[in-house]
Amino acid sequence: IRIWTGSLNNNAPRILGVHSGAIYALKWHPRVSTCFASGSEDSRIGLVDVADKPPSKRHRYGHLNTVMDLAWSHQGDLLASVSLDGTVRLWNFPSLSLKRVLAPGTVPISISWAPRGNYFAVGCQDATVRIWSVDATQAIQILEGHTAPVASISFSHDGRLLASKAVNGDLRIWRTDRWECACRLPSGQPRLRPSGVSFSPHSCVLAAFDDQSTELTFYEIDYELLIAGSLDLGAMHYSNAKIVLVG
């Protein structure tokens, strides 16, 4: 991990050896500006505080496969991690003690914590987005509509919208009051490679990228206009329920 301070042109980065494999996720703590967590293919979570001299480093084992993504709760007291081992794990901060292990029933590959409330969204390999409450034992909502693994997800700054992008380029905006797809946005040509999406932390501006392009695409979203024009685009959502087939 390389860390720059001050001008990027004049200062050489500090290089920290945190993991023994490729790093797939790095997220700064929302309250402690000098602390970040990282996730790697070595199945470990790293916790680093660059304020210490030298920077302090701690590791936590728990996952059995690559850690694909991380997300802090808005208060910073919990860290969520998703792994190719098929689990979502919640860790207490700063101890990094394990709080809960959740099993979505599919492989989770991306995660975003709502800026308000105690729930988070998980993008999954089975093309669903699953909404979890911290205290729930199973997903409280499952959003369907994508046709490929959901590689990246992001809540808007006010929590009213959720963006999800699949590896085939499909980019969708969901309204969180009804957990319905409000629209699909144009994106790059389908390509089964990494892509990403991220809302601004201060406004309803959405940034998206595709690996085949060197450009970022920005969308300025008018929430009221979006809600007024919500369309049924073939996306489905459902809560957990028992389904009985008769006949």
The pLDDT of residue 66 is 97
Residue-wise pLDDT tens digits, 16-61: 888 899 999 999 999 999 999 999 999 999 999 988 888 888 888 8
Task: Supply 147's token pair.
Answer: 């046709």
pTM of structure: 0.85
First to last CA, the chain: 59
Nearest CA among 122, 218, 235 for reference residue 174: 235
pLDDT, residue 186, reads 67
Query: What is the predicted pLDDT for the residue at 236?
Result: 42
DSSP state of 31: S
Evaluate whether 235 touches 180 at the Cβ level (below 8 Å). Answer: yes
Span 180-189, pLDDT tens digits: 999 887 665 5
Angle (nearest 5°) at CA 100 between 89 and 134: 90
* pLDDT reported for residue 191: 52
Question: Nearest-CA neighbor of 154 among 214, 96, 111?
Answer: 111
pLDDT given at position 44: 95
Provide the pLDDT for residue 213. 61
Low pLDDT (below 50) residues in the chain = 192-193, 230-247
Burial grade of 113 (CB within 10 A; 0-12, 13-18, 19 or more)? buried
pLDDT at residue 119, as a whole number: 95
What is the pLDDT, as a whole number, of residue 17?
Answer: 83
Query: What pLDDT, on the 0 to 100 scale, is given for residue 16?
Result: 83
